[in-house]
Amino acid sequence: MRRVYLGVGAMLLVVPLLASPAFAAPRKPSKPTGQVIISDVKMNGSGCKKTATVAMSPDNDSFTVTYSAYNASVGPDAGTQDKKNCLLTLKFDVPKDNFQFAIQGVVHRGYASLAPGATATYTAKYYFKGPKGGSSESVKTFSGSLDQNWQVDDNKTSDFEECGKKHQFVIDTHLTVDGSKSAKDDSSYAALDSSDGSLYTTYKLVRQPCAGKLR
């Protein structure tokens, strides 16, 4: 009988060891452990002559673009149509933990002061460069009379960047103000910038493991 009790005791000692976390298989992280860094920003266009600021959020969930001199205006001394554009090319340094990124939703913000009959049109196109770099595009037109800040929520998703490769992310925006149908003495204005930095565009990031489901 003594041998029987000793055998049971040995089994009871083994069970906690098997269930110990020290012997459990390591779990794959559900999100990158390192910081996504925008290491280089190139800009070109009449709306962003070295005046755009790009900042990544600490949680890797989004980045913002803030312009300081991106505006278009029409009026007696400025003609009936004004077009501005900005082409941004961003280089992402992504943590080497087997994740890929895409843009899932953009919040565009701006301001418009439009006389009756005048319009302002904002177009934004964004994509990762590369053979599979499909693009997403957002177009919004505002009509006068109007004098207020505006916001456009774009829920489209860009293609994911290719795993294991570094591709540049391109943001191509255009802002046009047309006053040809407003009174000759009227002035109209639209902008993506702000003096206090309160108007900016937010690009929301989504990630997934390179060989797995969306996280």
- pLDDT tens digits, one per residue of 88-122: 999 877 766 677 788 888 999 999 999 999 999 99
Query: Where is mean pLDDT largest: 24-33, 125-134, 179-188?
Result: 179-188
pTM, whole model, 2 decimals?
A: 0.76
Domains of the chain, each with CATH number or no CATH: 35-209 (2.60.120)
Find the helix or strand (DSSP H, E) in which 204 lies: strand 201-209
Helix and strand counts by DSSP (H, E) for the chain: 1, 12
Check: CB of residue 186 under 8 Å from CB of residue 75. Answer: yes
Q: Report the C-alpha gap between 95 and 143 in whole angstroms.
A: 44
**What are 54-92's pLDDT values in tens digits?**
998 888 789 999 998 899 999 998 899 999 999 999 987
Average pLDDT of the chain? 78
Which tokens sit at 167?
């591709």
Q: Are strands 37-44 and 119-128 parallel, antiparallel or unpaired?
A: unpaired
Q: What pLDDT was estimated at residue 58?
A: 83
Q: What pLDDT was estimated at residue 97?
A: 64
167: Cβ–Cβ under 8 A, 6 or more apart, which residues? 92, 128, 129, 130, 133, 161
